[in-house]
Each structure stands twice: as C-alpha cells, then as structure tokens.
C-alpha cells in the first residue's frame, strides 16, 4: 500500500481552483506608475511655468519634472523589451537599444539644463540637446511599429502610437496656432497620452 501526503493548499489557491483561474501578476506595475507620474509631473510643471521657463527656479522645476518623464520612458522601453512588443527579431531589439541610448542622452541634456551647465553656443551642447526631439520622434516611430506588430492586444496595441505622437502633434500646434494653444495641447496631450499609457502598462501581464 502506498501512502502519499499532499500539503493543504493555501486559501488563495483554493479560491483560484474554485474559479478555474489564477490571479495574474502585474510585473509592470512600477513601470507604469513611473511613466504616469512623470507625465503628470511634467504636464503640471509645464502648465505653471510654460514651455520656455525664464527664471532659474522655473528652469530647475521644468528640468526635474521632464527628467522624471524621461525616466518613465526608459521604464516603458524596458516593458517593450520584455514583452517583445516590436517583434522577436534582432532589428526590433536593436531599435529599442538605440532609442534607450537616445533617451539617456536626452536625460543628460535635461540634467545640464537643470544644473545650469548648458551653453548653446557650444556645438557639443547643441548636439546633445538635439537628442530631446530625436528621442521623442523615435518613440513615435516605435508606437507605429507596436500597432503594426500587433503583439500588444486591445487598446494597448494603438495607445502607444497616440501617446508617443506628443512631439509630432505639439510642435505643429505651436507653429500653426501659437504659443497659447500649443502650450495647452502640450499639457493635455501628456495627460491623455502618456499618463493613460502608464496605467495601461501597469495593468499588463506576461
């Protein structure tokens, strides 16, 4: 006669077994939280000090909030990497590496602005500052690729393209409608786009 012993299941296991499902984990909750927090912080700061802060204190606040937003972009890129959102090939992973490098250089530019080191009369600083718009353009192209790849499903398939169109929407709005409208568009787009995307990322599972 064979005697076997099985430990009693935890109460959560019993509930999951009864329902026929297990509770999904949220491995990207922190990633989404950082992205949403950064987007809201930058939008709020921008609403107060404008797109081109003039005082030293305003410049510091703008750099801190926009820097937090950029850190949120790195967390978003990490989520895209782990979920293979752009595809499983080498090219998709190379694109994410290049974009991460561009965002890191943009963060260096932001830090230079906040610390008062930036001198646009020097070519080096001018080139470094160019990674701000270049990184945002890269994020927009990545958003398009996510929609095409179709590895993210439902609203998350298309919302990155909405969120990451910030630069291609805000800059034309500034040029066509002026600073007042462009300022409003920039703040609102961050909230509707990246802040919401952070919530969607936080809810994703593997």
What is the per-residue pLDDT across 54-111, written as a single tens digit (0 to 9) for each? Answer: 888 889 999 999 999 999 999 999 999 999 999 999 999 999 999 999 999 999 999 9
Locate tokens 């909750």: which residue?
A: 29
pTM recorded for the entire structure: 0.85
Q: What angle do CA 90, 93, 98 make, to 5 degrees?
A: 120
Angle formed by the axes of helices 179-190 and 166-177, to 10°? 160
**Mean pLDDT value across residues 194-201:** 97
User: 19 is written with which tokens?
Assistant: 């329902």
Do 137 and 166 meet the contact criterion of CB atoms below 8 Å apart? no
User: 182 is written with which tokens?
Assistant: 């462009």
């Amino acid at each position: 006669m064979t005697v076997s012993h099985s430990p009693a299941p935890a109460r959560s296991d019993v509930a999951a077994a009864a329902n026929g499902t297990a509770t999904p984990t949220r491995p990207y909750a922190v990633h989404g939280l950082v992205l949403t927090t950064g987007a809201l912080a930058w939008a709020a700061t921008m609403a107060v000090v404008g797109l081109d802060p003039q005082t030293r204190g305003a410049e510091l606040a703008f750099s801190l909030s926009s820097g937090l937003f950029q850190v949120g972009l790195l967390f978003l890129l990490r989520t895209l990497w782990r979920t293979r959102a752009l595809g499983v090939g080498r090219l998709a992973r190379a694109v994410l590496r290049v974009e991460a490098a561009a965002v890191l250089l943009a963060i260096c530019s932001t830090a230079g602005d906040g610390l008062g080191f930036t001198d646009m009369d020097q070519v080096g600083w001018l080139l470094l500052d160019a990674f701000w718009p270049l990184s945002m353009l890269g994020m927009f192209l990545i958003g398009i690729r996510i929609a095409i790849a179709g590895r993210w499903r439902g609203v998350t398939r298309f919302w990155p393209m909405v969120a990451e169109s910030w630069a291609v929407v805000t800059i034309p709005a500034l040029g066509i409608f002026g600073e007042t409208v462009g300022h409003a568009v920039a703040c609102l787009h961050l909230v509707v786009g990246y802040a919401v995307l952070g919530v969607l990322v936080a809810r994703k599972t593997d």
